[in-house]
Structure 1
């Protein structure tokens, strides 16, 4: 196959855009988030659940594909797997650290503001609770606590994707640096994922971890104790690495795209109905809870297979829009949640009509993302802090860029 996989680039861009819209939606649904609208829209919950089971898993899968192309490029130039480790570290560590200490703190600031107001403080922004905020944030000396617990800082919040992708990449680099391991992995994947194996084995794997790990390990995004999430995310990352160049897998996904979409929609309908009926303090029967684990997996597997299949069938062209977005979507991701949190919190104070407020939050978030990218692409090596490599805009013809 050609190294140019425009479909994967388009899917990556689309998944990040969905993530941005999802985080704007988090302000309005009655779920715990960094800031929450006083005018919550409960009926948004089923719509949010359309993507919540698979959006980050899909990104890890596509990132695994990208890592495969990058690793193959290093091998073609006679470099070892350790070159891959260095490349991924340079690409991911600077934006993670910059994000934790510069991009993310405003999210924690407004989280403390809203929590303090909930405890009865009229003007926490000008009180002792937020004095020397950044220093206390960076040194983990804020002691910001309420009935739900304490805020741990510094934190990576939405940047947990980068915090997980970096060690996953280093683990993979270490594996393929061992003689024979890479060849064995690819040969095993070719046998395992041939024909219907590309959908059957992932479903069985997803169901196994949903059944055995999900009830025991809550998703924490804390890296050290997040075992179900690791099984899900690293599994998707490794799966993407193994299938990235398989033409047989690509053709199979194209053939099953419509059945996969139907399965995904049925899974979503079942899961969203279950979550809606048993929202709040309602307790579902144990047998129904167990059945819903499989329904949840059908949602995940069906939608991801459908997206990959439709993408492989229809998204095979590049162009200037893709060249721009394939680089820009990473800095979009880095800054989007902070822009959304700041905009949403402050717009809510104006008590605008709800529809106008929501449109403004989306518009301000989009413009903030574009501004961050335009600045980053002009900063040379400093652009790495926002995920833009020097000269990346001029070299944007390569496929699957991150």
Structure 2
């Protein structure tokens, strides 16, 4: 209801004029530059997020500095709402582009080679060192060879020493890509959700309705099913991420959706900003439902608060998309380079942060200096590894799923 009221101010003629211009422009041929740009930005935000994790207060991570920051924790709390949902939206959008060009079989083969093969390879090469240095910081003094024997016992971390850690995103993405195939083919066969193509007000109401439907499963399941990142039992997160994938799919197929988001970008930003302020007022004053009532799930206000958390994720993703769609028009060689580099960068970055961070957190330097050093050094190391050792060699590009 709130979302529907927010969209009332869009006039049908204005949206239809924009749609006509959009369909006649060349931007549709130019790989949707703003989507590529937002993909790069999302990965950079993830890099910052993981550097921050070394220093944030209250939250545990693989490598922690002795001096920690509540301010960085609040930054990460805000980013956590939209960094992964944005990536899954983009993946749904890009899946449509690929499915228009490829058969189902070729699409699956392409996705398998770019997602599953790199995951299998780099779990054993790049994930293992992260757990090793985490155990070292916890006081274990075994050699890397001794540790690696325990890694190959395949006992799931944190009780054991085997995991895919930050690479969890890749098999999840592969699963959602496969699910996208029948959804996309259905939309190809039944082209006309007519109201999305004719009535702008109805389109906006459908966007609001989609968000309402999307938040219900995760709001309910997140209470009962904690995050596992094991693909099989992560029911709550699947119920959240899959709707962002489908949102990307719908947004590609029906251009009017993105135009409505673009035209409402300022209003979406106001709502997103207001929602995170409201959430923090509740948090900072100890008013979260679980802190007030013993049987807090029996109170309607608890469910409203949980729904607000989920709406906040959607508002920030839609805001970012709206501004990206409006202002990012040109790509160029830099964006092309970054778009090719960002996936190998993602695979590399957390291992670099953990390994370098292991030595940095044990120094006596000021926390601010450590943070600045890690931010710059880990970015340069990850980017340099891509540029010097991955980009020039076909076999290395293949193992990292790069073009």
- Residues 1:340 and 2:367 aligned together: no
Structure 2 counterpart of 1:99: 122
The SS at the match of 1:11 is helix
The SS at the match of 2:203 is coil
1:50-199 to 2 correspondences below 5 Å: 50-74=78-102, 80-115=103-138, 117=139, 124-125=140-141, 127=142, 132-140=146-154, 150-153=159-162, 155-173=163-181, 181-184=186-189, 187-188=192-193, 191=196, 195-197=203-205, 199=207
Structure 1 counterpart of 2:17: none
1:3-402 to 2 correspondences below 5 Å: 3-4=29-30, 5-29=32-56, 30-74=58-102, 80-115=103-138, 117=139, 124-125=140-141, 127=142, 132-140=146-154, 150-153=159-162, 155-173=163-181, 181-184=186-189, 187-188=192-193, 191=196, 195-197=203-205, 199-278=207-286, 283-285=291-293, 286=296, 287=299, 288-374=301-387, 375-389=389-403
**Residues matched between the structures, number:** 366
TM-score of the two chains, using structure 2 as the length reference: 0.84
- RMSD (Å) for aligned C-alpha atoms: 2.5
Q: 1:138 to 1:312 in 2, by over 3 A?
A: same
Q: Deviations over 1:330-371 (max 9, x none)?
A: 111111111111112210111111111101111121012212
TM-score of the two chains, using structure 1 as the length reference: 0.84
Q: For 1:298 and 1:228, how far apart are their aligned partners in 2?
A: 15
Q: 1:266 to 1:83 in 2, by over 3 A?
A: same
User: Are the aligned partners of 1:186 and 1:242 in contact in 2 as well (CA < 8 Å)?
Assistant: no
Structure 1 counterpart of 2:6: none
User: Are the aligned partners of 2:113 and 2:401 in contact in 1 as well (CA < 8 Å)?
Assistant: no
Q: CA deviation at 1:214?
A: 1.3
User: Are the aligned partners of 1:271 and 1:296 in contact in 2 as well (CA < 8 Å)?
Assistant: yes
The SS at the match of 1:221 is coil
User: Are the aligned partners of 1:110 and 1:342 in contact in 2 as well (CA < 8 Å)?
Assistant: yes
Which consecutive residues of structure 1, in runs of 5 or more, have no partner in the other structure? 75-79, 118-123, 390-402
Q: 1:159 to 1:284 in 2, by over 3 A?
A: farther
Q: Deviations over 1:111-170 (max 9, x none)?
A: 21233x3xxxxxx33x47x652123212326x98xxxx61351x1111111010112112
Q: For 1:257 and 1:138, how far apart are their aligned partners in 2?
A: 49
Q: 1:289 to 1:175 in 2, by over 3 A?
A: closer
Q: Deviations over 1:15-57 (max 9, x none)?
A: 1111110011111112011121111112322221221112101
Q: For 1:231 and 1:295, how far apart are their aligned partners in 2?
A: 16
Which consecutive residues of structure 2, in runs of 5 or more, have no partner in the other structure? 1-22
Q: For 1:9 and 1:272, how far apart are their aligned partners in 2?
A: 32
Q: CA deviation at 1:191?
A: 4.1
Q: For 2:274 and 2:79, how far apart are their aligned partners in 1?
A: 13
Q: Larger helix proportion, structure 1 or 2?
A: 2
Q: Deviations over 1:168-224 (max 9, x none)?
A: 1123235556xxx34356544974995213530232023312332111211211100
Q: For 2:118 and 2:194, how far apart are their aligned partners in 1?
A: 32
User: Are the aligned partners of 2:114 and 2:400 in contact in 1 as well (CA < 8 Å)?
Assistant: no
Q: For 2:87 and 2:131, how far apart are their aligned partners in 1?
A: 25
User: Are the aligned partners of 1:253 and 1:305 in contact in 2 as well (CA < 8 Å)?
Assistant: yes
The SS at the match of 1:37 is coil
Q: CA deviation at 1:275?
A: 3.3
User: Are the aligned partners of 1:49 and 1:268 in contact in 2 as well (CA < 8 Å)?
Assistant: no
